[in-house]
Amino acid sequence: MAIRTAIAVANPNIAFIKYWGNRDHALRIPCNGSISLTLGGLETQTTVTFDENLTSDHVFIDDRSASASTSARVSQHLDRIRLIAGFKYCAKVESRSNFPVGAGIASSASAFAALTVAGTSAAGLSLQPIELSRIARLGSGSACRSIFGGFVEWHANETDEDSYAEVLAPSNHWDLQDLIVIVNQEHKGVGSTEGHALADTSPLQNARVADAPRRLKECRRAILDRDFPSLASITELDSNLMHAVMLTSTPSLMYWYPETLQIMNEVTRWRAEGYEVCYTIDAGPNVHCICTRKYADRIEKRLRRLPGVIQLLRASPGNQARVL
Angstrom distance (rounded) from CA 163 to CA 13: 18
Q: What is the helix (H) or strand (E) element at residue 317, kind and residue range?
A: strand 311-317
Angstrom distance (rounded) from CA 105 to CA 14: 9
Could you say which of 70, 157, 193, 248 contacts ligand DP6 (CB under 6 A)? Answer: 193
Residue 283 binds to ligand DP6 (criterion: CB under 6 A): yes
Range in contact with ligand DP6 (rule: CB under 6 A) among 14-22, 92-100, 165-173, 302-310: 14-22
Range in contact with ligand DP6 (rule: CB under 6 A) among 11-19, 158-166, 182-190, 263-271: 11-19
Could you say which of 16, 19, 99, 270 contacts ligand DP6 (CB under 6 A)? Answer: 19
Angstrom distance (rounded) from CA 321 to CA 324: 10
Residue 18 binds to ligand DP6 (criterion: CB under 6 A): yes
Residues 6+ apart with CB under 8 A from 269: none
Buried b / exposed e along 180-204 (16+ C-beta atoms within 10 A): bbbbbeeebebebeebbebbbebeb
Could you say which of 12, 16, 28, 184 contacts ligand DP6 (CB under 6 A)? Answer: 28
Could you say which of 93, 106, 278, 287 contacts ligand DP6 (CB under 6 A)? Answer: 106
69 in Cβ contact with 53 (< 8 Å): no
Q: 157: phi > 0 → left, psi -120 to 50 → alpha, else beta; which?
A: left
Measured from the CB atom, is 140 or 171 closer to ligand DP6?
Answer: 140
Q: According to CB under 6 A, which residues from 127 to 186 bind ligand DP6?
A: 140-142
Could you say which of 32, 44, 95, 108 contacts ligand DP6 (CB under 6 A)? Answer: 108
Name the packing angle between helices 228-247 and 212-224 (round to 10°). Answer: 150
Question: Minimum distance between the CB of residue 18 and ligand DP6, rounded to whole angstroms?
Answer: 4
Residue 209 binds to ligand DP6 (criterion: CB under 6 A): no
Measured from the CB atom, is 20 or 279 closer to ligand DP6?
Answer: 20
Q: Using CB under 6 A as the criterion, which residues of the chain lie in contact with ligand DP6 when the complex forms?
A: 15, 18-20, 28, 34, 106, 108, 140-142, 192-193, 196, 282-283
